[in-house]
Amino acid sequence: FDMFTEVTINIQAGAQALVNLLEDYREPEQKVSHIKDLEHRGDQMTHDIMTRLNQTFITPFDREDIHELCSKLDDVIDLIDAFASRLVIYNIRALRPGAAELARIVRKATDEVHHAVTLLEKHDRILPHCIEINRLENEADTIVRAAIARLFEEEKDPVEIIKWKELYEVLEIATDKCEDIANVIESVVLKSA
């Protein structure tokens, strides 16, 4: 449980670093490098959990659920890094509406994931966090739809359209992965009820 909590703290740090990047979009390369470091740290933590899982005979809950939770947690930090890296790779000079708002939703969702994971050992008061994660994912869907509609309405450069459509979708997928985490946690709680 402590290992999962460490992973969620790292994910929260990545989400906050993404918000910081988008709220003050100066020197993005340096900020993206910090996010990449957090992603590498997350990979190491995931590896450590999987190693421990393979060495442990009795686990706190089903091996499949531990594996799934670990994988989904890793997906979130991977997507945060993917979005940030693409900003540099695509040479994004100015941000479009909705990007920072989506990053803030990802951060809120990672906060809820952290709270849910810290309660996982006791199975107490977890479901409200899972419900909030689902609500945030729905909110992100709405923002992405509006941002993409606005993109197609306002942007005339097809290359910019392709870049930004993908960027929006990466952030939306990050919220989907948070929802997947909530679903795994709910399953673990229901199995042990």
Asked whether residue 181 carries a pLDDT value surpassing 80, the answer given is: yes
Over residues 55-79, the mean pLDDT reads 85
> Given this model, what pLDDT does residue 193 score?
67
DSSP-assigned letter for residue 27: S
CA distance 154 to 63: 49
Q: What average pLDDT does this structure show over 160-188? A: 95
CB 136 within 8 A of CB 171: no
Minimal CA–CA distance to 87: which of 36, 151, 152? Answer: 36
Residue 119 per-residue DSSP state: T
Per-residue pLDDT of 138-156, as tens digits, reads 999 999 999 999 999 999 9
Residues 68 and 4 sit within 8 Å (Cβ to Cβ):
no
What pTM value is reported for the model?
0.93
pLDDT tens-place string over residues 154-165: 999 999 999 999
For all residues of the chain together, what is the average pLDDT?
92
Q: Please say if the pLDDT value at position 121 is more than 90.
A: no
pLDDT score of 124 more than 80: no
**Tokens at residue 130, please?**
């899972």
- What pLDDT, on the 0 to 100 scale, is given for residue 58? 76
Nearest to 1 by CA among 124, 167, 148, 91: 124
The whole-number pLDDT of residue 1 equals 81
